[in-house]
Amino acid sequence: MAAQIPQEVIEKIKQVSPGTKLRKALDQVIEAQLGALIVFINEDEMKAYPQVFQAGFKIDAPFSPERLYELSKMDGAIVVDEHVSRILAANVHLVPDPSIPTSETGTRHRTAERIAKQLKKMVIAISKRRNVVTLYYKEYKHVFEDMKFVLTKVSQTLNTLERFREIFDRDLELLNYKEIEGNVTLDFICGLLLRSAEIHNITSEIQLQIIELGIEGRLASLRLREVLRDLDELTLLLIMDYHKKDVTEEDARKLMEEMWGLEYKHLTFAKFLGYDVSSTHKASETFVVPRGYRLLRTAIHIPMNVSQKVIDSYRNLGNLIKTDVNHLQEIDGIGKKRARAILKTIKSIKKRRG
């Protein structure tokens, strides 16, 4: 699973993504096969580091892609304010603290990394030889890959995610029948949760790439949104339904966060749900009974607080199936209309299974 990237770093990446004035300028620099070193710092802060920003000359002009491109033809660094609204200086000689460690080898990139660490600011370096944009911010480094490569990679990953989601939804539909028939196995539930974790974790790996695509990633963003539709809520309800212990919604959310980091093995997920089974065969022979949260919330849209009262009264879906309208409507918040809707939905699932 990809490491969690701080939101402040993501915001910096957005500043450099396609569709921004800054990215337009960087693309022009790359197209001309020029190198560049750009520091983003406000004027007052720059003045506080005379030992770092040496020589050069003041520009103090509104930012424009064309202006930055022309200035990149000169030696030295360009200084831009943090809002990317003004170009403050050009031809600046940067002198970072040489004791700051750096993993870079080229002079431009070593300077960029040290400045970013020393001043806690965003610095961009463009390699003249490789035509690659590298963003440094504090201790973080992000290399912008070729746009066509990123688009292809994101599209392929989304194709996989869409197939996974299709399987997940199909198994949820099958689960409806299994729950009504009282034929749900632990192995089946573990498979559903495992698939949910796979979708979630693969998503985490491409979200940054979609952000990096900027306006070029709008279609990919829409496709990803559809893949993730209700995934967290459905996963939460599965945990509340099938965890061996009764868990509150708040506890289930904490468990769900833990679940994303589990190893993709059925037995691992079985233990996560509180079941101590020794083999996948044993898990496939262990029958589990849902409490009914998922059916009440998603199929009938009963509010969670009312669903909780139903489950407190009936304990599990097996008992709920056997009740009638008169008993069900006595629960606070249900009434005759909701009682009929619940039993009608259960009957409809049975009929579709036919």
Question: pLDDT digit string (tens) for 186-243?
Answer: 999 999 999 999 999 999 889 999 999 999 999 999 999 999 999 999 999 999 999 9
Mean pLDDT for 29-55 is 95
Distance, first Cα to last Cα, the chain: 42
Q: Cβ atoms within 10 A of the Cβ of 354, count?
A: 5
Q: Quote the pTM value.
A: 0.86
Per-residue pLDDT reduced to its tens digit, 144-192: 998 999 999 999 999 999 999 999 999 999 999 999 999 999 999 999 9
Distance of alpha carbon 295 from alpha carbon 27, whole angstroms: 52
3-state secondary structure of 55: coil
Q: pLDDT band for position 2 (50/70/90)?
A: very low
Task: Give the start-to-end residue ranges of the domains of the chain.
Answer: 7-144, 146-289, 291-354
- Beta-bridge partner residues of 80: 40, 87
Question: Which CATH code, of 3.50.50.60, 3.30.2020.30, 3.60.40.10, 1.20.1260.110, is assigned to 146-289?
Answer: 1.20.1260.110
What letter represents residue 63's amino acid?
A: F
Closest CA to 239 of 250, 227, 228, 255: 255
Residue 354 confidence (pLDDT) above 80 = no
Q: Average model confidence (pLDDT) for the chain?
A: 95
Phi (first) and psi of residue 2, to 5 degrees: -65, 145
Closest CA to 191 of 174, 211, 216, 204: 174
Q: Give the pair of three-digit tokens for residue 16.
A: 């450099």
Residue 80 confidence (pLDDT) above 80 = yes
Q: Give the pair of three-digit tokens for residue 133.
A: 């944009």
Rg (C-alpha) for the chain, rounded Å, is: 28
Domain 291-354, architecture per CATH: Orthogonal Bundle (1.10)
CATH 3.40.1700.10, applies to 7-144: yes
Task: Note the pLDDT of residue 130.
Answer: 83
Q: pLDDT band for position 3 (50/70/90)?
A: low
CA 73 to chain centre: 39
Mean pLDDT for 138-149 is 94
Q: Cβ atoms within 10 A of the Cβ of 228, count?
A: 15
